[in-house]
Amino acid sequence: MAPPVAVPVRRGGAKRVLPGFGLTLGYTLFYLSVIVLIPLSALVLRSFSLTGEQFWTAVTSPRVLASYRLTFGASLLAALVNLVFGLLLAWVLVRYKFPGKKIVDALVDLPFALPTAVAGISLTALLAGNGWIGQYLEPLGIKLAFTPAGVVIALIFIGLPFVVRTVQPVLEDTEKELEEAATCLGATRLQTFTKVILPSITPALLTGFAMAFARAIGEYGSVIFIAGNMPMISEITPLIIIGKLEQYDYGGATAVAVVMLVFSFILLLVINGLQAWQRRRAGMPA
Amino acid sequence: MSTSTNLSRVRAGTTESPWVRRTLIGIALVFMLLFLVLPLAAVFTEALRKGFGPYFDGLLEPDAWAAIKLTLLTAAIAVPLNLVFGVAAAWAVAKYEFRGKAFLTTLIDLPFSVSPVVAGLMYVLVFGSHGWFGNWLSDHNIKIIFAVPGIVLATVFVTFPFIARELIPLMQAQGNDEEQAATVLGASGWQTFWYVTLPNIKWGLIYGVILCNARAMGEFGAVSVVSGHIRGQTNTIPLHVEILYNEYQSVAAFAVASLLALLALVTLVIKSVVEWRSEQERKAIADLPPERPQASSGALA
């Protein structure tokens, strides 16, 4: 008898001892298509039914341009505030001991758990002229609720956990020995921070920043209550889409949505790139 | 003498002076107070502004009840759907090598990057009266947009990645060794999953489920686009809050909102407990003596 012919080994075949590859991957692709890919392509295909001119007019009318400026500007500002205070919070939570630390640590995730509409009405109640904070600011001539400044505050709330939660684990893993070495070589504490610690957490910091920025751009629930929603002044881009939908301007709504979608994709790629950079820094395969 | 000064210099070099420390902690705590504690406290004080009577009136109103029931129904459908998907996707991605895996994981994360309003619009374009299936659906008298199925679909979309992205890194870190051992010993696929994989991922699973649930019950933007805001019929709790708030029924709005704030607090507590328990288990395993060090070195020799 001829010896049994060696079964050709598939690429990665050695790992397929476990059953269920076809079932789980098949179901994953099916569910992904039904929930995400088909509706997403509906949006893109619908935008092709517009002529180039219709599309361009819809996405560049003055009111829409003003909404981009507010959405992107406020999101950038909020993400920058979160970058600074997120780093501070992560630092304090990792490096220092103080009473109530566990509670503070748990509370950082509140913006993930608290529905955005609740955050919106609550921040508005705080900052309105008769609110806990607003009543002290109003006599000074500072108005936050129903202005673009209110939008920034809502977006700071929404994006707060991102930087903290991306920086925290990296900071926990940094090696104290490096800092000791820097000190022994004569570095001041500030030099150690900027030249040793900061470079090692930069990828994580930027990832958190980009995530907070991306989240802020799409945010709707918390913003519409506090913004006042005045056209040209405090109207965010997602609200423009809703407004067009309510006027049955499906084409216009789709066009603006595609602009937002393209920007989301770009940010998603940037975040993926940053995370790969971070994994390389940590010495893991990208 | 010289050693002790060296030591104190090193210590000074790896931490900050007490004054700097206290200032940083102080700034962090003030920031937390202003941006997290005050908004949370405001929900409850505004809800109880006129005492417990009006508070419970706001909660017991029939429309509020209908909203609560709809929200529970939506979460009860959306969370299990995404749970099954999350486990299947994590199994496929973590246990096997195949081409396009990185692209697949990016696609799974995609719903997090899409604005909720854009997500709602997508479903309107597929199932709405002017959408792809609009005519067919109206011919067969099926309503998806401005009805409960649309709300469920929008919720499924925004909570899509939660459980999968929690499980994928967890299962990747655990590797295939235990599952392969079970399979070699004759366990079926389901037995392997049920008795080997599931106990290993249970904390990650619970973690993903509670975050998914919190978002499912609290989603506003996407649901707002597809709901049609029919009181008592297609209003979820967050949408009901909006209606009450816009009608200047502040106490009722905050009363209903306080339910969601309580949900958020319960979510945070469960999350902390889960983190604590999984940390304990991890430590317990790390403290175990290494298995058969003698035998393995003997086998090598």
Check CB contact under 8 Å for B88 and A27.
Answer: yes
- Boundaries of every domain in chain A: 47-281
* CA separation for the pair A115, A219 (Å, rounded): 12
* CA separation for the pair B152, B74 (Å, rounded): 5
Judge whether B242 lies within some domain: yes
Q: Which residue of A has its CA nearest to B82?
A: A31
**Distance (Å) from the alpha carbon of B41 to chain A's nearest alpha carbon:** 9
Judge whether B262 lies within some domain: yes
pLDDT at B19 over 60: yes
pLDDT at residue B14, as a whole number: 66
pLDDT at residue B94, as a whole number: 92
CATH of the domain at B169: 1.10.3720.10
Query: Domains in chain B: how many in total?
Result: 1
pLDDT at B158 over 60: yes
Within 8 A of B24 by CB-CB distance, chain A residues are: 88, 91-92, 96
What proportion of chain B, given as a percentage, has pLDDT over 70? 91
Residue of B6, B114, B239 for testing the chain A interface, max A β-carbons within 10 Å = B114
pLDDT at residue B8, as a whole number: 53
Average pLDDT over residues A170-180: 86
* CA separation for the pair A254, A236 (Å, rounded): 16
Condensed to tens digits (0 to 9), the pLDDT of residues B285-295 reads: 888 776 655 44
Domain that holds residue B138: 50-283
Only one residue has tokens 């749970």, namely B83
Return the minimum-mean-pLDDT range out of B13-22, B28-37, B276-285.
B13-22
Q: Which of B28, B89, B121 sits opposite A245 (nearest CB)?
A: B121
Query: B253 burial class (0-12, 13-18, 19+ CB within 10 angstroms)?
Result: buried
* CA separation for the pair A134, A149 (Å, rounded): 13
Q: Which of A114, A183, A250 sits opposite B9 (nearest CB)?
A: A183
Condensed to tens digits (0 to 9), the pLDDT of residues A211-228 reads: 999 999 999 999 999 998
Check CB contact under 8 Å for A17 and B183.
Answer: yes
pLDDT at residue A216, as a whole number: 95
> What's the residue count for chain A?
286
pLDDT at A241 over 80: yes
**What's CA B87's distance to the chain center, in Å?**
15
Q: Please give the backbone phi and psi of residue A136, each rounded to the nearest 5 degrees, phi first.
A: -90, -25
Judge whether B39 lies within some domain: no
Confidence of residue A187 (pLDDT cuts 50, 70, 90): confident
Q: What share of chain A is helix, strand, coil (3-state, %, to 5)?
A: 75, 0, 25
Within 8 A of A102 by CB-CB distance, chain B residues are: 272
ipTM of the prediction:
0.88
Check CB contact under 8 Å for A18 and B184.
Answer: no
DSSP letter (8 states) at residue A236: -
Condensed to tens digits (0 to 9), the pLDDT of residues A48-103 reads: 999 999 999 999 999 999 999 999 999 999 999 999 999 999 999 999 999 999 99
* CATH class of the region A47-281: mainly alpha
| Cβ within 8 Å of residue B143, ≥6 positions away | B137, B149
Only one residue has tokens 């008298």, namely B141
pLDDT at B1 over 50: no
**What's CA A156's distance to the chain center, in Å?**
11
> Is A43's Cβ below 8 Å from some Cβ in B?
yes
Judge whether B187 lies within some domain: yes
Task: Give CA separation, B237 vs A126, A210, B75, B300, in Å.
Answer: 22, 31, 12, 64
Return the minimum-mean-pLDDT range out of A15-19, A25-29, B32-36, B50-54.
A15-19
pLDDT at B284 over 60: yes
> Is A262's Cβ below 8 Å from some Cβ in B?
no
User: What's the whole-model pTM score?
Assistant: 0.89
> Is A214's Cβ below 8 Å from some Cβ in B?
yes
| DSSP SS3 for A115 | coil
Q: Token digits for B214?
A: 């919190």
